[in-house]
Structure 1
Amino acid sequence: MLGFQRAFRLLHATMKNQIVPRGNYMSKPPEEILTPADQAIGLIVMFSVFLIPSGWILAHIQDYKAHQNE
């Protein structure tokens, strides 16, 4: 229990003195307004980039397992 208390005090001391830099964010209007069609195309492309290769691998995982054993 004493070791836990020492570790907790050490962690608390390190977290207490951290300085987080302030971000320099400026909000401004967008340079180009995206239409809903543009947004839909962008979402479809992003999802397909991630889901099509993963689906291919999952659909052919048995082939990969069989090829590995040969």
Structure 2
Amino acid sequence: MTMSAFNCSFNLLRATMRHQIIPKANISAKPAKHVLSTGEQLIAMGTFFVTILGPSGWILSHLESYKNRPGAAQE
């Protein structure tokens, strides 16, 4: 009984997933339509740097204060 219920649910799942197949994207090797200037590239890279590395740098620079706060696990 359990095996037939499992097979039935598996077949239903497989049937729903069959219709969700996404076709391949059309990828071409053409050059960019709008070339970014050096200033735009610097702004983008700076934003990525601050967004990704900023929070981790903040945590690492304040690690000792996080260790010494009340309620922290004592060894």
State the TM-score, normalized to the length of structure 2. Answer: 0.51
What is the 5 A alignment of 1:16-55? Answer: 16-18=18-20, 29-30=33-34, 33-55=35-57
Q: Which has the higher contact order (CA 8 A, sep 6+)?
A: 2
Q: Which runs of 5+ in 2 are unaligned?
A: 23-32
Q: Distance in 2 between matches of 1:49 and 1:16?
A: 38
Judging by fraction of residues, say which structure has more helix.
Answer: 1
Instruction: Indicate the percent of aligned positions where both proteins have the same amino acid.
Output: 38
State the TM-score, normalized to the length of structure 1. Answer: 0.53
- Give the paired residue count: 60
Q: Distance in 2 between matches of 1:18 and 1:49?
A: 34
Q: Deviations over 1:20-40 (max 9, x none)?
A: 7xxxxxxxx33xx42234313
Q: By how many angstroms is 1:19 displaced?
A: 8.4
RMSD of aligned Cα (Å)? 3.0
